[in-house]
Structure 1
Amino acid sequence: MKQAIKRTIVVGTRQSALALTQTGQVIEQLKAVCSEHNLPYDFEVRKIVTKGDRILDVMLSKVGGKGLFVKEIEESLLNKEIDFAVHSMKDMPYSLPEGLMNGAIPKRVDPRDCLITNGGLTFDQLPEGALVGTSSLRRASQLKHIRPDLRMESVRGNIDTRIRKLETEGFDAVVLAAAGLYRMGWEDRISSYVPVDVCVPAVGQGALGIECRVNDSGVRELLDMINDPETAFAVQAERSFLGALNGGCQIPIGAHATLLEERAADGSLQLSLTGIVGSPDGSVLLKETRLGTDPQRVGIEAAEALRARGADRILAEVGG
């Protein structure tokens, strides 16, 4: 019997340690699927430098534009230099270029933000006027809303670089996505978690987006085997919220959706979505929660409720 010719699938990724680690984890999942179903695929990783990787001395919100960490990768996809790409979902703009799609959203890991502090302090234990490092207006807005005394300062770079700045630049704490530390196997470095009712995560935080070409049926079928329907359902609501506010990834918008245990009367899955828009200084924080069975609709309804309360004005002020 003639053996099938193997296709080498080229996987695009940013070149940070975290990006390479999570790309490797996706490839391991796919190799297991290929082995189980006897599929003729090999994988090759291609590193791509994005605009967001090149500009490290400026707050992300001031760099401008959407898709700071994905544009160059998407160009490689469209040019057929790579076959799919692994992104942190929170880096992905709502609108994808024509011809591209999210081929899979694997099971999400912990979506919360976390603190890494000197002495293992929790958020409440941080001293008056503590210096806190974050590159995120969303985090700064919500944390300063609760603790106006905090001094927030931009800190960019990979996870290790940001953690090192606790010692080298006098920070009392840095705020990071817990998911990145889990993926790197560094969860023991986490001092405390910030509850989602205190700091609503970024849209898609903790989830990966695997982007591919719409017309590549082979890759689409393969990726579908590692898609997690419940994660995809929740992330769809969060991204609908982002799209309805015409928001980029680097402005003070957050959204977190969870599936409810109780199903609707017709048996449909139900979810709860909480969305926020805040001013960078934390003086204004608008929050809305909506429930429903249609993730697209739930996201839009939460966004419309925030618009009615002045969200557009806040986003316009920060360039959203």
Structure 2
Amino acid sequence: MKPLVIATRRSALALWQAEHIAERLKTLTGRSVELLPLVTTGDRILDVPLARVGGKGLFVKEIEEALLDGRADLAVHSLKDVPTVFPPGLALGAVTEREDPRDALCSPRWRTLDALPKGARLGTSSLRRQCQLKAVRPDLEIVNVRGNVQTRLSKADAEVDAVVLAYAGLRRLGLADAATEVLDAKRSIPAIGQGALAIEIRDGDPELGSIVAKLDHAPTRAATDAERALLARLEGGCQVPIAGHATVEGGVLTLRALVGRPDGTGLLHAERRGDPANAAEIGEMVAGVLLAMGARKILDELAGATVGVPH
């Protein structure tokens, strides 16, 4: 029988994620699984902050093309990289059980956010992280740091005083010890979909769709459906100062969200609870609250700042 082919980015973390799903698919189907590693636009542009590059789907476009032209049967992504609208012919087949979604500070010398000296240099390419950390520590100098997990870790203490990364990625690569402080999710609300994996498939493949659906984790799917509905209503891409994190506990879905300016001012918070079956509605409701508080003005300010930047 023909092997299943998974399209993936080439980074160590992306390959780990794809191999993880490949092993689960082998167990489910008894078929062999091969990887098709690809370089995406987001991987090629390393000298410009992602927010200035503009556009959506910087880390998935080339992978989705491989699905559409038949080179791959499915794709594995970090869900936080996946736009809320799929190209015609493609669909979200499954969202797997979430890893720890929190952000992690990595600072071999200073260890914690509060211990960083005044004016410390903190590396991140995320406006979401920047706006929340500047709100707590307005004295920090934010330095754009791009590249794979190992590259960014190497800059901690060598070029900057600390870097902030997704704790899930560190755990998956066996680098959890590099996290000197795991930031509370209320202090640094995670990115939409952070810690979850997305399996993307062609829309007209019911056989593969039924197989992939077995990897779907219902609580994670509900939580991330709420987060992605929030993002869609706010019309935000992957690199905007929007944070949103939902949990499902005791049959109740709780969504906390934030919009703010990159300098840490104007932070807007909203929170709602409800039935996980109404995840999308909860996400849209929270977005509506943020819009009523003035979120559109903040997001439009950022969009205006990116005009004229080459894509």
- TM tier relative to shorter chain: over 0.9
Cα displacement (A) at 1:125: 1.2
Cα displacement (A) at 1:118: 2.4
Structure 2: state its 5+ residue gaps: 305-311
1:317 is aligned to: 301
| Residue type of the alignment partner of 1:301 | M
| Residue type of the alignment partner of 2:158 | T
| Residue type of the alignment partner of 2:129 | R
CA distance in 1, matches of 2:45, 2:108: 28
CA distance in 1, matches of 2:155, 2:71: 37
2:120 is aligned to: 130
Q: Pick from 59, 75, 93: which aligns with 2:83?
A: 93
1:273 is aligned to: 255
2:303 is paired with a residue of what secondary structure?
coil
CA distance in 2, matches of 1:276, 1:202: 10
Q: Is the 8 A contact 2:156 2:162 kept in 1?
A: yes
1:9 is aligned to: 4
Q: Pick from 255, 276, 284: which aligns with 1:300?
A: 284
Q: Is the 8 A contact 1:273 1:298 kept in 2?
A: yes
CA distance in 1, matches of 2:240, 2:246: 19
Per-residue CA shift, 1:166-220, capped at 9, x if unaligned?
2432x11100000000110111111011111111100000001110011111211
Q: Is the 8 A contact 2:111 2:181 kept in 1?
A: yes
2:108 is aligned to: 118
CA distance in 2, matches of 1:122, 1:166: 13
CA distance in 1, matches of 2:19, 2:40: 19
2:156 is paired with a residue of what secondary structure?
helix
2:139 is aligned to: 149
| Residue type of the alignment partner of 1:233 | A
CA distance in 2, matches of 1:98, 1:290: 32
1:286 is aligned to: 268
| Residue type of the alignment partner of 2:121 | L
Alignment of 1:24-35 (within 5 A): 24-34=19-29
1:265 is aligned to: none
Q: Is the 8 A contact 1:116 1:192 kept in 2?
A: yes
Per-residue CA shift, 1:231-262, capped at 9, x if unaligned?
1111100000000101100000010000131x
2:224 is paired with a residue of what secondary structure?
helix
User: Percent identity, aligned pairs only?
Assistant: 48
CA distance in 1, matches of 2:297, 2:198: 30
| Residue type of the alignment partner of 1:25 | H
Q: TM-score, normalised by structure 1?
A: 0.92
1:271 is paired with a residue of what secondary structure?
strand
Q: Which has the larger radius of gyration?
A: 1
Q: Pick from 160, 165, 169: which aligns with 1:176?
A: 165
Cα displacement (A) at 1:225: 1.4
CA distance in 2, matches of 1:116, 1:29: 31
Q: Pick from 8, 12, 15: which aligns with 1:20?
A: 15
RMSD: 1.1
Moved more, 121-130 or 139-148: 121-130
List structure 1 segments (4+ residues) > 4 angstroms apart after TM superposition. Answer: none
Alignment of 1:209-224 (within 5 A): 209-224=198-213
1:319 is paired with a residue of what secondary structure?
helix
1:264 is aligned to: none
Q: TM-score, normalised by structure 2?
A: 0.95
Structure 1: state its 5+ residue gaps: 1-5, 262-268
Per-residue CA shift, 1:115-161, capped at 9, x if unaligned?
00022511111111111000100000000011101111100000111
Q: Is the 8 A contact 2:110 2:116 kept in 1?
A: no
Q: Pick from 184, 197, 200: which aligns with 1:195?
A: 184
Total equivalences in the alignment: 302
| Residue type of the alignment partner of 1:319 | A
Moved more, 159-168 or 81-90: 159-168
1:78 is aligned to: 68
1:164 is aligned to: 154
Q: Is the 8 A contact 2:107 2:157 kept in 1?
A: no
